[in-house]
Amino acid sequence: MKAVLVVGARPNFMKAAPLMREFGRRPGIEALLVHTGQHYDENMSKVFFDDLELPAPDIHLGVGSGSHAQQTARVMTAFEPVLEEQRPDVTIVVGDVNSTLACSVVSSKMHVPVAHVEAGLRSFDLRMPEEINRMVTDTLSRFCLTTCADADENLRREGVADERIFFVGNAMIDSLLFYLERAARSAVLGELGLVEGGYALVTLHRPSNVDDPAQLAGLIGVLGRLSERMPVLFPVHPRTRAVIDSANIALPPGEGVRLVDPLGYLDFLQAMRHSRIVVTDSGGIQEETTVLGIPCVTVRENTERPITIELGTNVLAGIDPPGVEAAIAGALDSEKRPHTVPPLWDGKAAGRIADVLERHLSK
């Protein structure tokens, strides 16, 4: 079986690493890693490849940044010759970024089966570009590889046949569990002067939170008040940094809110596992904090990962700064929520994915 595995942005890399490791153990699978270059700088790409020990991409498309339409079109144009030359038995796409959508469309039109890792997640909010990417990719996928039971139900409601749905677990958690011990050797807390369990960790990058300077300024004000209780570590996404700089958003006085460049995977994992609370608008972090048992306040109106609220440690706060502040206070002042690790979030999803593909595609 010959597979092309596509990655484009940081969230993809954590899901691709266990797959490449698993494929490498199976002599019946030849896997080519294609990096579209959607995230392309040192902090957003290379350092994650290094930390996750991902092999150098077999093919790098180098599409770079641009509008959603521009980026999607560039990936499609660059990916088509790859399929023409390689003629794989399957294209594996992960997550919900533009690269995922683009390579699914090209593969489908060239009659190459698509396997979607993390299929079936839905926020039911079509204002999110990721929701459109998820829906179109799942419609085109021969193999919808899901992380949880509610994803299966979402797909069935949309008319996806049962023979296309495979509940395999969460490849993101494969990486989390595999690298925990290695992350423990990170010196990031000492370098930043942080004490285990004594600080908040923040990530914000979604357009609804950072593109409007007034909204972002309101959230930074919330972080300033949080910093009166504990230090706040804020690795700043390039998108967020650009708005802070261009709009001259005032930062809280003193060093209570620590703005730093994006962290590598191992450093971030170490910072997350020892934080008192995480405030984020990321999808994957909702899952990771659920497994680690860290309180998580999600700064969004909805989530495509409701299982992290039902079973895990996640609280959905909305994006209104007073509501976010109240959710943070509630999470800090209440007893630690009991949590359950969702079924099949056990570090073995990559093996189940490989089993599915070998069973259906091996010649």
Is residue 339 among the annotated active site residues?
Answer: no
pLDDT in tens, 338-362: 889 999 999 999 999 999 999 999 8
Catalytic residue among 35, 60, 68, 205: 205
Closest CA to 36 of 58, 55, 18: 58
How far apart CA 343 and CA 361 sit, in angstroms, is 26
pLDDT in tens, 114-169: 999 999 999 999 999 999 999 999 999 999 999 999 999 999 999 999 999 999 99
85 has pLDDT over 80 = yes
Residues 29-37, mean pLDDT to the nearest whole number: 96
How far apart CA 257 and CA 56 sit, in angstroms, is 36
How distant, in Å, are the alpha carbons of 154, 163, 290, 306 from that of 150?
Answer: 6, 17, 16, 8
Per-residue pLDDT at 340:
94
Closest CA to 16 of 257, 209, 239, 178: 178
How far apart CA 35 and CA 57 sit, in angstroms, is 6
CA count, 13 A, side-chain hemisphere, 18: 24
CATH classification code of 2-170+345-361: 3.40.50.2000
Domain with CATH 3.40.50.2000 in the chain: 2-170+345-361, 180-333
Query: Please, which pLDDT band fits residue 336 given cuts at 50, 70 and 90?
Result: confident
pLDDT in tens, 280-324: 999 999 999 999 999 999 999 999 999 999 999 999 999 999 999
In the numeric block, the tokens 């593969």 are attached to 107
**Model-level pTM?**
0.95
- Residue 326 is classified by DSSP as H
Token digits of residue 208: 């609804």
Kindly report the CATH class assigned to 180-333: alpha beta
Token digits of residue 77: 């144009």
Residues contacting 109, CB < 8 A, separation 6+: none
How far apart CA 296 and CA 202 sit, in angstroms, is 10
pLDDT in tens, 229-278: 999 999 999 889 999 999 999 999 888 999 999 999 999 999 999 999 99
